[in-house]
Structure 1
Amino acid sequence: MSTQLSHADWQKLAGDLRYETRAFIGNRFVDAASGERFATINPATGEVLAEIASCDAPDVELAVRHARDAYNRGDWSRLAPGKRKQAMLRLAELMERHKNELALLDTLDMGKPVGSSLGDMSGAIGCIRYNAETIDKVYGEVAPTGEESLGLVLREPLGVVASIVPWNFPLMMTAWKIGPALAAGNSVILKPSEKSPLSALRLAQLAQEAGLPDGVFQVLSGFGHTAGKALALSMDVDCLSFTGSTGVGKQLMQYAGQSNLKRIYLECGGKSPNLVFADCKDIDSVAENAAAAIFHNQGEVCIAGSRLLVENPIREAFIERVLAHAENMQPGDPLDPASFMGAIVDEVQHKRILDYIRQGVEEGAHLRTGGAAVSPVEGGLFVAPTIFDGVTPQMAIGREEVFGPVLSVFGFDSEEEAVAMANDSEYGLAAGLWSQDIDRIMRVSRRLHSGQVFVNNWAGGDMTVPFGGVKQSGNGRDKSHHSLEEYSELKTVWMSLAP
């Protein structure tokens, strides 16, 4: 995760930053109607970064009205796809120009290492470009009819799309949502997490500079139970896209049913299994990948490989290698490019992780390393890489999403047992499989109940493949041209032709 800037360079840039703290509604930056604000805090230091406008139902109502007016006006929704493409490419270019600043905003806001944030920015910029380049290559259909009729199948934008994004990958998740929604011609209202609003508000400035028409892209800073709820209950929002916890996802589905039956696409929690068979190639490299799969981004990753299933003949040797690699993944100052892990996003999540660790010990799991808060930066919220062995599926750390740097290790004796253990979860977001047996790879990949399976890698893929889950991990798909399908409507036009 090397960068061209040093630790001192990033510290200086952080000191020079100025934050936009107002919501972006109707092409203007404005305070919340109530005048209320909330603090966004740097979890690595405890420092208050800024006081941000706290939007609520009146602000949502205003933003939705601007979004609907923009959609009806048609200067984006009916704009030729090639021209929408050019505007989005301008936005991507501006994001590229301000890449370091955007990465720094996410690092300061939620505590992730700046090297990781830079990687996220590359993904976010690539997403905007991918969708821009895709939209003028999506064709409608002509139905097979007789000479007396002509059947057309058209794709049209949905209208007003609300996107609620999480705090763990703030700008990258934003791009995954708004990229296809904007490309398809919708008006988009973004609600970033109250824990990480800064990069979204800076993105609004860049979108304005790129020339997106008034009301086409708006940002409402605020809380889920206020602004988020109002968006979900709005009778004039046509689609809601959400990434976050399963519990909140279920609540949003209820709100959609209580209002206008708006489309709702969810990417929710995960408890992803990572299966390592004894015939895997290069045990040390696989162990390093297994450690990174859970400790990357402090374990605050929906697809984190938090359940490590290892075939018993190599189990102890494999755990020893994972332990060794975990030693090199300790948390450090997020502004230091050498840091692999950063700070936990806030005190609530910090306490939650430590409570799960304590419960794991109480339930009889064997704590092999970590298990405690650490302080690489004074005043910060950090947790050491933590590994439990002897975990059973009945234990909380073996079943529930911790969303932190906590790895649970299980052993298995057969392929059948491994698949059964992997699928014994309410989640189905991702799974990993390490083996050199091609027959086993094909069998197990098909039998794993998961939206995505990584074979001899973890978290591989690019913008060409969809991202999403099954079961209680949700129903939506981000990335790839399939995401455009979620933000467009099929319309049938049937013409009777004169004889």
Structure 2
Amino acid sequence: MAVLPEAKLYVDGVVRRAAGDRLYDNIGPWTGDVVGVAADASAADVEAAIAAARRAFDTTDWSTNHAKRLELVQKLYGLFVANRDRLVDIARHEVGAAWVAVNRAQVDLALDSWKDLMDVFPEVQWEKDRGTKETYGFTTYRKSVHEAVGVVGAITPWNFPIYVNVEKVVSALLAGCTVILKPAPDTPLSGSIFGELAAEAGFPAGVLNVITASDPAEAGELLVTDPRVDLITFTGSTAIGKHIMRQGAETMTRVFLELGGKSVKIVLEDAPNFQMEVAQSILVFHAGQGCAVQSRLLVPKSRYDEAVAILTATYAAFEDKWGHFDDPACPMGPVISKKQMDRVKAYIDIGVQEGARLIAGGHLRPDKGSGWFIEPTCFVDVTNDMRIAQEEIFGPVLVVIPFEDDEDAIRIANDSVYGLSGGVVSADLDRAMKVANRIRTGTISVNGGAPINGDLPFGGYKQSGIGRAWGVEGIEEYLETKTIGYRK
């Protein structure tokens, strides 16, 4: 039964259906049933969106009128705040979020981080005096200016869609770009609401466009390969990120990528509350569907058996505390789709085949409902060369790896193609900082500190991405630098 409104396109200032009234079903992860329908955009719809965005950038003052942009982005923010209940419904029914996730990253952190972007916007430096230089027998006065890069294609994921949509859309709009937002097929309404409320806010036609489509690739391919699109910003898997880079090479389209992760949490033997730190490493928040989750737990060999016992008890105590739609204390619901559920289960089977020891979970749970439920799962006796330790599972699967000393922990942490997030815990702050400084990762928590907020840059090393989201740096990703030399 449909519980969500129809997700429509927003093209050239008009909220509308796709060409030919094409629709596709929006499937709810909790039930596996249809919870709504969404516009299924055609190539013609994508073409119209690109043309509108190009025209709005090239023929209006959007890119140069900083005050106007900020005013409209603030107005749109106010509409989102006023529609928080609708955002909650979308996160619960479309994304499959449990209440704890809704009240944190899915909705409230998205709104808080939006405000952070508006707060740091005045820090963007649009022009810088570069002084004078005597060359060729005359004096040149020099300056550099920042200008919007142009038309942005924003391709976003299904795991935290409202949050990521805010990051890309708001940052690009503040920078002066025009935007075509293409949300994931699984979460169309999380994108469609941006178009609906932008229309209500009075955005100029073409500045923001939203395209939803059932095909996971077609609309994205059209954006990536069209020379009228100046920048592609993508959050998702590393494999798709590499494909986007290859596809965009022909037109030299700039790419800004936030990709996968296989982050560590290192609990050193002197951690002030070792039991709590290990227990809190249980991977259940939003069913582990986060690129920055700490899915590799590194514990010292000297306390390894103790850590295993703590985790065994923690997972056992959590056995009936997940999968409850109406429980405000529930942090974990289903995964997004049957496809993702099958993928996670396949990795669990691989872990067993590789010789890791399963101390919790490992099974599908149809008794939880007709949706896509898989148990919180924990493997111990894992070595870092196993696939379950090297590959991003994107599900509620924690792997536990012992280490000898600090050097060994650093080696294991860095033995990964990824470098997105991580954590270190120790009673000795200086020791923890030394370890953190040597881990090749874009963000890292020391003793529980929060390195991810809307006013801070976020992004990865190695195959975890290119560029930084959020903060001033996140806005600047959507800018070009022009250097001007002149004579008086």
Answer whether TM exceeds 0.5 for this pair: yes
1:74 offset after TM fit, Å?
2.0
1:57 equivalent among 43, 58, 61: 43
What code does the residue aligned with 1:202 have? I
CA contact (8 A) 2:99 2:329 kept: no
Task: Show CA shifts across 1:273-296 (max 9, x none).
Answer: 1111100011232123312xx221
SS at match of 1:270: coil
Matches within 5 A, 1:16-95: 17-33=3-19, 35-79=21-65, 81-95=66-80
SS at match of 2:47: helix
Q: Aligned residue for 1:114?
A: 99
CA contact (8 A) 1:113 1:333 kept: yes
CA contact (8 A) 1:271 1:305 kept: yes
Q: 1:288 to 1:460 in 2, by over 3 A?
A: farther
Q: Aligned residue for 1:173?
A: 164
1:324 offset after TM fit, Å?
3.1
CA contact (8 A) 2:152 2:229 kept: yes
d(CA) in 2 for partners of 1:146 and 1:367?
A: 67
In structure 2, the gaps of 5 or more residues are: none
d(CA) in 1 for partners of 2:171 and 2:103?
A: 22
Q: Percent identity?
A: 34
Q: Aligned residue for 1:373?
A: 364
Q: Aligned residue for 2:226?
A: 234
Query: What do you get for the CA RMSD once the two structures are aligned?
Result: 1.8
CA contact (8 A) 1:109 1:196 kept: yes
Q: Aligned residue for 1:328?
A: 318
d(CA) in 2 for partners of 1:234 and 1:334?
A: 42
1:135 offset after TM fit, Å?
2.8
Q: Does 1:159 align with 2:146?
A: no
CA contact (8 A) 2:3 2:36 kept: no
Q: Aligned residue for 1:104?
A: 89
Q: Aligned residue for 2:474?
A: 483
Task: Show CA shifts across 1:168-209 (max 9, x none).
Answer: 001001111111100011101100000111121122111111
TM-score, reference length from structure 2? 0.94
1:364 equivalent among 327, 348, 355: 355
SS at match of 1:254: helix
Matches within 5 A, 1:278-289: 278-289=269-280
Q: Does 1:185 align with 2:176?
A: yes
CA contact (8 A) 1:386 1:405 kept: yes
Q: 1:46 to 1:213 in 2, by over 3 A?
A: same
Q: 1:34 to 1:470 in 2, by over 3 A?
A: farther
d(CA) in 2 for partners of 1:184 and 1:142?
A: 20
Q: Aligned residue for 1:7?
A: none
Worse-matched range after superposition: 323-332 or 375-384: 323-332
What code does the residue aligned with 1:183 have? L
Q: Aligned residue for 1:141?
A: 128
1:369 offset after TM fit, Å?
0.8
Q: Aligned residue for 2:438?
A: 447
4+ runs deviating over 4 angstroms:
15-18
Task: Show CA shifts across 1:105-150 (max 9, x none).
Answer: 0221121113312323222222322223333442210012159432
d(CA) in 1 for partners of 2:4 and 2:354?
A: 47
Q: Does 1:243 align with 2:232?
A: no
Q: Aligned residue for 2:306?
A: 317
CA contact (8 A) 1:333 1:376 kept: no
CA contact (8 A) 1:104 1:117 kept: no
1:458 offset after TM fit, Å?
7.0
CA contact (8 A) 1:89 1:132 kept: yes
Q: 1:460 to 1:288 in 2, by over 3 A?
A: farther
CA contact (8 A) 1:22 1:53 kept: yes
Worse-matched range after superposition: 149-158 or 319-328: 319-328
Q: 1:404 to 1:376 in 2, by over 3 A?
A: same
SS at match of 1:418: helix
Q: Aligned residue for 1:339?
A: 330
d(CA) in 1 for partners of 2:183 and 2:447?
A: 34
SS at match of 2:291: coil
TM-score, reference length from structure 1? 0.92
What code does the residue aligned with 2:74 have? L
Q: How many residues align?
A: 479
What code does the residue aligned with 2:8 have? R
What code does the residue aligned with 2:28 have? N
1:34 offset after TM fit, Å?
5.4
